[in-house]
């Protein structure tokens, strides 16, 4: 099987295998409707909805095909007819339930025999049928860039581009515009140019034109980023590593392929005060002050359709996301958070273990991940909380290991005050509040559970003023005393906030009981013996 795609052609995106036979003679031999129907049926088969013993039989009603392809009834019927006997064999099933009892056998494109469902691995692969890949979410989802929403010439050009990427074994490839147009079966150069532009605007492809030649990159449609650029990146920098809750306790892909109003707001938010002039352009784009050169008048042109920018002053160019990151000085996490704020979604980093319900990443002071704690579903028998620890090895997470270290170190270089709590969840709670005391940042840390303190952790707290927030129980008191002893040894100033008088166990409960961020700040400043906004932090003494 030397002709199959590289495994990483689509990175982590789920893939749909399509027979390369459809691209014989330098031209896709199927009409758009037939191509769409074939994708719908193969996708249905590949998601496992078929009989395993004997010939594969995919049950898919006419209405289901219409829903998946976005086609009306006649084009679907024509598409099925075109595929009949070559790629599919439609079988009217004896009536059982429902009104549309049809099923499809999938045929070997070279000899027309029905493929057998027995065996493991993908159907085309185990029958030695050469295939190329498209992202399966192109067929299954209902995003603006999906099969059911795009036009027929866009579909043909997109599938032709995926086909060519497979031929060249690269996600980024150069091609003569005419070759791609002919493979797609598009006669008019104008229609072709429009289709290509639409695919770029949808985020499916990125295209650079050099005369008659095109440099084409297949993009992750969720992030609009060329797949090849993501292969060596740390997942923490990669937008495709962010997810949103699906409402059933799991997460699903979140889209960074954003609508114009969201993009406008993102861009506005990222403009620096005093440099936030926006010049509307005749073509609907904007001009803003360029962050890549000393720009006084807006000279950086933004195209919202292509989601790209282009500076006339310094020739900087790139994606709108890159521009927003640069203008706002955001990292990817901040960018994801802002997108969430504008779209009303809670966007969270992906947890690699699909059963995990929460994740706490331990990073060093520079922000590199070192280990993480995954919160797993409770033990079914005992109901106990279950955690799993993983460590970071050459940009991958592996089970077990990881250094003993404090949580939240990546904030320490910016913080004057450090709040010590028990457990990562409470630390996240406090960090989420973005506390500042007298204009100086306060961040939260923990060593983990109440038994986890080690004396050497205190070395990281040199130069800080520490606020201890133990749980209001015996284990919490012991944890507090252990930390206090380490701080005393090093003459690190600290104070204690006690939650017992407030009738709650810890900071998370305190806030959940209806108290506000200001209430918590009041407790902290009272413990520190300073009045918010006035006293100097230097005045704080150890107990």
Cβ atoms within 10 Å of 21's Cβ, excluding its own: 16
User: CB 271 → Zn ion: shortest distance, Å?
Assistant: 14
Question: Toward Zn ion, which CB reaches closer, 204 or 316?
Answer: 316
Question: Toward Zn ion, which CB reaches closer, 56 or 327?
Answer: 327
Length of the chain measured in residues? 543
- DSSP string of 21-76? GGGGGGS--S-HHHHHHHHHHHHHHHTT-B-SSSB--EE--HHHHHHHH---HHHH
Cβ atoms within 10 Å of 157's Cβ, excluding its own: 29
> Regarding beta strands 415-420 and 440-445, do their DSSP bridges make them parallel or antiparallel, or are they unpaired?
parallel
Q: Find all residues with CB under 8 Å of 352, minimum gap 6, and list them.
A: 397
Question: Toward Zn ion, which CB reaches closer, 295 or 482?
Answer: 295
User: CB 199 → Zn ion: shortest distance, Å?
Assistant: 28
- CB crowding 119-128: b at 16 or more within 10 Å, else e: eeebbbeebe
> Regarding beta strands 308-311 and 131-135, do their DSSP bridges make them parallel or antiparallel, or are they unpaired?
unpaired
Comparing CA positions, the residue from 465, 426, 472, 466 lying closest to residue 446 is 426
Comparing CA positions, the residue from 84, 89, 65, 61 lying closest to residue 75 is 65
Question: Toward Zn ion, which CB reaches closer, 45 or 319?
Answer: 319
Question: Toward Zn ion, which CB reaches closer, 46 or 319?
Answer: 319
Q: Token digits for 98?
A: 């429902």
CA dist 101 and 427 (Å) reads 56
CA dist 16 and 13 (Å) reads 10
Helix (H, G, I), strand (E, B) or coil at 274: coil
User: CB 269 → Zn ion: shortest distance, Å?
Assistant: 20
Question: Toward Zn ion, which CB reaches closer, 291 or 448?
Answer: 291
User: CB 316 → Zn ion: shortest distance, Å?
Assistant: 5
Question: Toward Zn ion, which CB reaches closer, 270 or 447?
Answer: 270
User: CB 315 → Zn ion: shortest distance, Å?
Assistant: 7
CA dist 19 and 11 (Å) reads 20
CA dist 255 and 340 (Å) reads 10
Helix (H, G, I), strand (E, B) or coil at 444: strand
- CB crowding 191-222: b at 16 or more within 10 Å, else e: bbebbbebbbbbbbbbbeeeeeebebbbbbbb
Question: Toward Zn ion, which CB reaches closer, 314 or 433?
Answer: 314
User: CB 328 → Zn ion: shortest distance, Å?
Assistant: 16
HSE, CB side, 13 Å, CA atoms: give it for residue 173.
19
User: CB 289 → Zn ion: shortest distance, Å?
Assistant: 9
Question: Toward Zn ion, which CB reaches closer, 292 or 387?
Answer: 292
Question: Toward Zn ion, which CB reaches closer, 290 or 430?
Answer: 290
Q: Token digits for 509?
A: 């409960």
User: CB 311 → Zn ion: shortest distance, Å?
Assistant: 3
Question: Toward Zn ion, which CB reaches closer, 162 or 323?
Answer: 323
User: CB 293 → Zn ion: shortest distance, Å?
Assistant: 4
* Ramachandran angles phi, psi of 191, nearest 5°: -60, -40
Question: Toward Zn ion, which CB reaches closer, 287 or 360?
Answer: 287
Q: Find all residues with CB under 8 Å of 306, minimum gap 6, and list them.
A: 200, 201
CA dist 505 and 8 (Å) reads 48
HSE, CB side, 13 Å, CA atoms: give it for residue 44.
23
Q: Token digits for 243?
A: 């997810």
Question: Toward Zn ion, which CB reaches closer, 39 or 289?
Answer: 289
User: CB 312 → Zn ion: shortest distance, Å?
Assistant: 8
User: CB 275 → Zn ion: shortest distance, Å?
Assistant: 12
Binding residues vs Zn ion (CB under 5 A):
290, 292-293, 311, 313-314, 316
Question: Toward Zn ion, which CB reaches closer, 316 or 324?
Answer: 316
DSSP state of 534: T
Cross-sheet strand order for the sheet of 358-363: 358-363, 369-376, 386-393, 396-399
User: CB 69 → Zn ion: shortest distance, Å?
Assistant: 44
């Amino acid at each position: 099987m030397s002709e199959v795609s590289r495994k990483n052609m689509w990175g982590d995106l789920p893939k749909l295998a399509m027979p390369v036979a459809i691209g014989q003679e330098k031209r896709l031999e199927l009409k758009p409707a037939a191509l769409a129907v074939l994708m719908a049926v193969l996708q249905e088969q590949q998601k496992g909805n078929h009989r395993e013993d004997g010939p594969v039989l995919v049950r898919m009603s006419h209405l289901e095909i219409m829903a998946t392809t976005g086609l009306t009834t006649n084009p679907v019927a024509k598409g099925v007819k075109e595929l009949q006997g070559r790629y599919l064999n439609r079988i009217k099933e004896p009536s059982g339930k429902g009104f549309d009892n049809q099923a499809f056998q999938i045929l070997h494109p070279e000899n027309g025999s029905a493929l057998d469902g027995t065996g493991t691995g993908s159907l085309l692969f185990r029958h030695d049928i050469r295939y190329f890949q498209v992202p399966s979410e192109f067929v299954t989802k209902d995003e603006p860039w999906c099969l059911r929403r795009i036009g027929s010439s866009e579909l043909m050009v997109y599938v032709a581009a995926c086909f060519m990427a497979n031929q060249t074994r690269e996600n980024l490839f150069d091609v003569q515009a005419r070759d791609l147009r002919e493979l797609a079966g598009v006669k008019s150069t104008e229609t072709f140019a429009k289709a290509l532009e639409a695919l770029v605007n949808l985020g499916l492809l990125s295209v650079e034109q050099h005369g008659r030649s095109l440099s084409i990159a297949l993009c992750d449609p969720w992030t609009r980023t060329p797949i090849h650029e993501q292969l060596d990146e740390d997942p923490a920098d990669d937008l495709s590593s962010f997810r949103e809750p699906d409402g059933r306790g799991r997460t699903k892909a979140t889209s960074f392929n954003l609508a114009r109003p969201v993009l406008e707001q993102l861009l506005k938010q990222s403009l620096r005060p005093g440099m936030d002039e926006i010049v509307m352009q005749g073509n609907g784009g904007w001009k803003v002050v360029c962050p890549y050169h000393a720009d006084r008048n807006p000279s950086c042109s933004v195209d919202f359709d292509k989601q790209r920018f282009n500076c006339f002053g310094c020739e900087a160019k790139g994606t709108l996301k890159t521009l927003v990151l640069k203008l706002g000085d955001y990292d990817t996490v901040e960018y994801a958070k802002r997108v969430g704020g504008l779209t009303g979604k809670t966007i969270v980093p992906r947890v690699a273990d699909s059963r995990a319900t929460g994740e706490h990443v331990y990073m060093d002071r520079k922000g590199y991940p070192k280990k993480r704690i995954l919160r797993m579903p409770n033990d079914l028998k005992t109901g106990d909380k279950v955690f799993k620890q993983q460590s970071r090895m050459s940009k991958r997470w592996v089970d077990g290991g990881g250094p003993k270290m404090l949580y939240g170190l990546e904030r320490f270089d910016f913080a004057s005050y450090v709040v010590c709590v028990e457990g990562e969840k409470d630390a996240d709670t406090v960090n989420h509040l973005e506390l500042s005391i007298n204009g100086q940042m306060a961040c939260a840390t923990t060593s983990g559970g109440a038994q986890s303190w080690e004396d050497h952790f205190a070395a990281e707290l040199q130069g800080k003023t520490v606020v201890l927030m133990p749980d209001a129980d015996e284990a919490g008191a012991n944890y507090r005393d252990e930390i206090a002893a380490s701080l005393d040894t090093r003459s690190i100033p600290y104070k204690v906030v006690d939650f017992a008088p407030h009738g709650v166990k810890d900071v998370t409960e305190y806030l959940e009981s209806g108290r506000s961020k200001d209430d918590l700040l009041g407790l902290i400043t009272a413990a520190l013996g300073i009045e918010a906004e006035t006293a100097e932090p230097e005045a704080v003494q150890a107990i």
